[in-house]
């Protein structure tokens, strides 16, 4: 056998081919590499088994005991738990989930509500030999069988974000594909992700474990889609958000979400993503004649620019993908002052606010779910390090944009119902 060495950059590889013998195809021989292999080959089931004993999930994913310390001190746990590389056991699980997701049809077409009955109801009855007594019983079944995350005390099992109405489907930021690259880039909004900022509720252990249960459940995408569709149907609100934490994993993941939305036509969906190329690949998987049907009418996709202060027209892939479908729109951070492209920003009224003002409902705003608004800017979104420091001229433009946003909101909320009726209903004819 030829002599092999373990590359110094091995932990950055997404594969473990370098740990296998070129001659026999088996794991490399010798105790030095076997100990590494024992760690690397752990995957989905091992992560699930570990979760019960982990007291700080987000830190554990990055090889840190806890999140204590200074968020700016590169040697402190808090910094490392945000920016360290993902440990091999979790990276292997992430790769395995992404591989399993490819089993889902690239253009979708799975009916999660055949004959008007949610597939999850049938799955439960077939496995338990009885109909479900209530939705909490189904959610317990979903959780105990590792189908996806399901919050114990909730009748719908979904995350609830205090800022926005409705439920959300969340995943760990560690699984963000592009975001994991951008988190180390100065000027990127991912570097100042609101999920990972110091003191954020979404960093805590219980939410993180729920997010990981969601993500690992994607390893069986058909079952996951059935469970997610069921949970959304149980939620009392008409609005739902895909990924208030985390991001889409592949074009196949986009396909799954669109099928979930189709199964819940009475709900309005907002899908936030930074994965413009993935979205493009999903749209292009459809024939030209079918592209209008790739995104249902009850879904608004918002593609985020990668860096703060960047207008959507200044980022090639965002500009390109927003022209592919009328329901694909854009978002930015701290770019409301840029008006040289003739497009006007709708400024988020709660971004950068605190207390009661940091909510959609306080401002009576539903803009993120509204595909007729092509561009929303979040000024001061994320942690305090990304809050804007505008010049007087730029600040004046931001104020103008905020005023225009208020006018649009007033128009949408106060516009009287039209009383125009067809002539054949007119009694005076």
Q: Are strands 239-242 and 268-273 parallel, antiparallel or unpaired?
A: parallel
Contact 213, 149 (CB under 8 A): yes
**What is the predicted pLDDT for the residue at 421?**
43
CA distance 267 to 236: 10
CA distance 140 to 134: 10
Token pair, residue 23, equals 């001659």
Block residue for tokens 């409301």: 336
**What is the predicted pLDDT for the residue at 384?**
67
**What is the predicted pLDDT for the residue at 382?**
63
**What is the predicted pLDDT for the residue at 321?**
97
Instruction: Give every strand in the sheet of 268-273, ordered side by side.
Output: 159-160, 167-169, 239-242, 268-273, 299-304, 328-333, 375-378, 346-347
pLDDT > 80? residue 1: no
**What is the predicted pLDDT for the residue at 359?**
85
DSSP, residue by residue, 346-366: EE-SSTT--GGGSSTTTTT--
pLDDT tens sequence across 353-391:
778 888 888 888 999 999 999 999 988 766 666 677 788
pLDDT tens sequence across 114-146:
988 999 999 999 999 999 989 999 999 999 999
Strand partners, 302: 272, 329
- The residue-averaged pLDDT of 224-253 equals 95
Among 11-20, 81-90, 346-355, the range of highest mean pLDDT: 81-90
- The residue-averaged pLDDT of 167-173 equals 93
Confidence category of residue 56, pLDDT binned at 50, 70, 90: very high
Confidence category of residue 148, pLDDT binned at 50, 70, 90: very high
| Helices assigned H by DSSP within 235-335 | 251-262, 276-284, 316-321
pLDDT tens sequence across 316-333:
999 999 999 999 999 999
- The residue-averaged pLDDT of 176-202 equals 86
pLDDT tens sequence across 79-123:
899 889 999 999 999 999 999 999 999 999 999 999 889 999 999
Closest CA to 120 of 34, 232, 230: 230
Q: What distance lies between CA 93 and its chain's CA centroid?
A: 18
């Amino acid at each position: 056998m030829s002599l092999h060495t373990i590359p110094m950059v091995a932990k950055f590889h997404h594969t473990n081919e370098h740990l296998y013998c070129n001659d026999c195809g088996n794991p490399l021989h010798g105790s030095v590499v076997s100990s590494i292999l024992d760690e690397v080959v752990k995957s989905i089931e091992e992560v699930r088994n570990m979760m019960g004993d982990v007291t700080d999930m987000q830190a554990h994913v990055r090889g840190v005991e806890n999140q204590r310390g200074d968020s700016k001190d590169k040697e402190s746990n808090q910094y490392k738990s945000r920016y360290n590389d993902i440990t091999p056991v979790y990276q292997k699980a992430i790769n395995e989930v992404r591989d399993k997701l490819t089993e889902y049809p690239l253009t979708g077409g799975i009916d999660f509500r055949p004959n008007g009955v949610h597939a999850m109801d049938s799955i439960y009855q077939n496995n338990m030999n009885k109909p479900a007594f209530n939705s909490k019983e189904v959610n317990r079944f979903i959780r105990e069988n590792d189908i996806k995350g399901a919050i114990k005390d909730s009748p719908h099992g979904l995350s609830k974000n205090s800022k926005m109405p409705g439920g959300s489907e969340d995943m760990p930021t560690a699984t963000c594909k592009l975001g994991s690259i951008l988190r180390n880039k100065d000027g990127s909004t991912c570097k100042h992700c609101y999920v990972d900022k110091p003191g954020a509720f979404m960093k805590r252990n219980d939410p993180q474990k729920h997010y990981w249960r969601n993500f690992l459940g994607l390893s069986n995408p058909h079952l996951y889609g059935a469970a997610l569709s069921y949970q959304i149907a149980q939620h009392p609100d008409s609005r739902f958000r895909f990924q208030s934490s985390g991001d889409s994993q592949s074009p196949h993941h986009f396909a799954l979400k669109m099928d979930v939305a189709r199964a819940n036509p009475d709900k309005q969906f907002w899908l936030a993503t930074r994965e413009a190329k993935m979205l493009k690949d999903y749209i292009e998987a459809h024939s030209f004649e079918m592209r209008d049907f790739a995104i249902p009418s009850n879904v608004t996709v918002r593609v985020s620019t990668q860096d703060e202060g960047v207008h959507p027209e200044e980022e090639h892939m965002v500009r390109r993908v927003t022209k592919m479908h009328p329901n694909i729109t854009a978002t930015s951070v701290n770019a409301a002052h840029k008006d040289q492209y003739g497009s006007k920003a709708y400024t988020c009224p709660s971004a950068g606010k605190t207390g009661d003002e940091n909510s959609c409902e306080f401002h009576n705003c539903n803009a993120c779910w509204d595909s007729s608004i092509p561009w929303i800017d979040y000024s001061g979104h994320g942690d305090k390090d990304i809050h804007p420091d505008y010049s007087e001229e730029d600040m004046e433009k931001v104020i103008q944009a905020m005023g225009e946003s208020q006018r649009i909101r007033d128009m949408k909320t106060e516009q009287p119902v039209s009383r125009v009726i067809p002539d054949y209903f007119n009694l005076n004819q």
